[in-house]
Amino acid sequence: MEKGRVIPILLIIGSIFIIIYRYLGSTNRISIYIILFTLISTIIISYLLNKKIIKINKIVLQSNLYNIITDKDQYCGIILRIIGKTDTSSTSRSILEEELRKLSMSLARRQSGFHYVFTTSIYEGKMGSAIIIYKKCNDEDKSSLISDIEKEVNDVYNISRAISPHLDLIPSSTSSTIVPLPSIFGNIPYLYAPERTFSPSTNEMLIYEYDLPLGEAMSSFGRTEVGIKLSDLTRHIGIFGSTGSGKSTTASHLAIQAFKKGVNIVILDWHGEYRELIPNDINIMFYNKINILKINLNQIISNDINDAVDIFGDVMQLTDPQRFLLYTVLNKLKKNPELSFKNLLTILRNIEETSNWIRDVKYALARKFFILFGKEGRSLFSTDGLTLDNLESYINGFVIIDISNIKNTKLRRLYGLLIMKLISDYYMEKKPSKKTMIIVDEAHNYFSEKNDFTDRLVSEIRKYGISFCIVSQSPSSLSPEIMKNTNIKIVHAIKSDIDKRSIRESLSLDERIISSLDKLDVGEALLSAPNIKKAIIINIKRKNIKTN
């Protein structure tokens, strides 16, 4: 307690005592004396204790003062350790760092004649920060110098308590290490408040064996080759990232590595960019608007009407009554040798119109299915097209199906889904021994939240030897079932908060890692795979690309 506060407090207590004494009778005066004695004793004891604490602090302060003599000058000062009063979670660290920044800005505005150096020490896995307060003291009297430093430290304490309540400044002795300071500092301050010790387990090797190399990661051992296991392919892969972050390069690199291990590759190329990413030494089966891979729609309908209704219903955005009517129509259509708009209209006309809503449903269904029988639709679907019997010759090897020239987006989606359906049916029925990886570019166009067919497909097909590689710039647009079933995730730079949240929920990542996703460079990615203990940042290999 400061001396200036003692007299006013005693005057206040005395005034209260006089008022009480005047209005109470003589019978209560003994109690008043006891109360007054207790109050005065408490004040005296508090004053003595406070004086003792100040004296102890003064001794601690003086014992930690340092004195450095150079050829020309003498410097005196003190070192204060910076200790955070909160835990070291990401939120608390940001609070501590902000308070430390405020403290440094306040000291930068002071005109006290003292220098302030914030320093962070990193040694043997330990990190910690301190502030050095010093001044030139060539001709100063020792007692005057000590008084100046004590006053400056008290001022810094008071500033810290006011604007940095979560920081403690504790005097510390100097080490025997000599650390030179630069004559001129840089223009980017680095401040780090809490002490931190990195345990050896943080730096241990995180990578297990792999068959398909992806790139490199940094560890305590230096640069380490990383990859995924061939046996994990059928657990499905998700490659996510904003436009231009390197998704297609990563997917093509992964396809090349899997192909070299004997896996069939089928790429559904939404934008028509994958052919340029595959080197000349790989023999590609390439389908586009000139060399069209046609589909026999009749066989797909005949094999599984329920899946056909799900696929058409999702692509055409059919209502429940329209889906019900479609099921009836497809049941009748599969008996016809040729699927045509004329046959579709004939079947619709023969369905009895018992009410106005049935007539409306019929007309709406005919209108939505007209795209199948237009010029573009007829070029994609034919009775002499792809079937389960001839599929093997079309998907054996490295296949790129360029669908970028299908102008109608609904037709493009429908065509891609039907290719997936055919390959899946082939594997479930024929059970070939060779694995196939289907790379689905811009997968959010297929695997939407309301598509029961794709959810069921991805969850069931892995046991038959098919791997899906889902490539998308918008993971939040994919169904939760798809995110759950992609057990290998490669996440490039992501800007959108909703997409970050989707990644965080699917991988159970902490906020610090999620907040760094938008800072990844092109070719950098977060990798999570069954053969890796925890998600790590890697650099994807980028070989010279030759136009094929």
Average pLDDT over residues 378-404: 90
Using an 8 Å Cβ cutoff, are 36 and 30 in contact?
Answer: no
Residue 21 DSSP SS3? helix
What element of type H or E holds 308? helix 305-316
The residue to which tokens 């729609």 are assigned: 297
- Residue 1 confidence (pLDDT) above 60: no
Place of tokens 């996440």: 491
Q: Each residue of 284-324: pLDDT tens digit? A: 999 999 999 999 888 888 888 889 999 999 899 889 889 98
Q: Over the stretch 422-459, which tens digit does the pLDDT of each residue have? A: 999 999 999 999 999 999 999 999 987 667 788 888 88
Cα torsion at 160, 165, 170, 176 (round to 10°)?
Answer: -80
Mind listing the pLDDT tens digit for each residue in 449-486? 667 788 888 888 888 999 999 999 999 999 888 898 99
What sign results for the dihedral spanned by CA atoms 333, 326, 441, 303? negative
d(CA 464, CA 484): 19
Alpha helix (H) ranges present in 64-197? Answer: 90-108, 142-163
pLDDT band at 21 (very low <50, low <70, confident <90, very high): low
Q: Left (φ > 0), alpha (ψ -120 to 50) or beta: where does 529 sit?
A: beta
Q: Please spell the DSSP secondary structure of 25-86, one letter per residue.
A: -GGGHHHHHHHHHHHHHHHHHHHHHHHHHHHHHHHHHHHT-EEEE-SS-EEEEEEEEEEESS
pLDDT, tens only, 73-104: 788 888 888 887 665 555 566 777 788 888 88
Residue 117 has pLDDT above 80, yes or no: yes
Query: Bridge partners of 399?
Result: 266, 285
What is the Rg, in whole angstroms, of the alpha carbon atoms belonging to the chain?
Answer: 38
Give the whole-angstrom CA distance, residue 38 versus residue 40.
Answer: 6
Rounded Cα distance between 488 and 141, Å, is 70
Q: Could you tell me which residue, 89 or 381, shows the higher pLDDT?
A: 381
Alpha-carbon gap, residue 488 to 491, rounded angstroms = 10
HSE-CB at 102 with a 13 A cutoff on CA atoms is: 15
Tens of pLDDT, residue by residue over 124-153, are: 666 778 888 888 887 767 777 778 888 888
Q: What is the C-alpha separation between 483 and 499, in angstroms, rounded?
A: 12
Cα-Cα-Cα-Cα torsion 265, 269, 272, 273, nearest 10 degrees, comes to -60
The strand pairing partners of 540, in sequence order, are 215
Contacts of 332 (CB under 8 A, 6+ apart): 347
In angstroms, rounded to a whole number, what is the distance separating the alpha carbons of residues 102 and 164? 7
As a whole number of angstroms, the longest Cα–Cα distance in the chain is 120
* Between residues 519 and 190, the one the model is more confident about: 519
What span, in angstroms and rounded, lies between the C-alpha atoms of 440 and 245?
A: 17
Give, rounded to a whole angstrom, the gap between the first and last alpha carbons of the chain. 84
> What is the C-alpha separation between 436 and 398, in angstroms, rounded?
10
Q: 114 with 134: CB under 8 angstroms? A: yes
**Which residue(s) pair with 213 in the sheet?**
227
Q: Collect contacts of 39-45 with beta carbons under 8 A, ≥24 apart.
A: 39/13, 40/10, 40/13, 43/6, 43/9, 43/10, 43/13
Give CA separation, 289 vs 272, 297, 353, 400, in Å: 11, 18, 41, 12
Rounded Cα distance between 200 and 203, Å, is: 6
User: What letters, b where the CB count within 10 A reaches 16 and e where it falls short, cover 438-453?
Assistant: bbbbbbbbbbbeebeb
* Three-state SS at 226: strand
Mean pLDDT for all residues in the chain: 80
Say if residues 381 and 294 touch (Cβ distance below 8 Å). Answer: yes
* Residues 239-286: tens digit of each pLDDT: 999 998 999 999 999 999 999 999 999 999 999 999 999 998 999 999
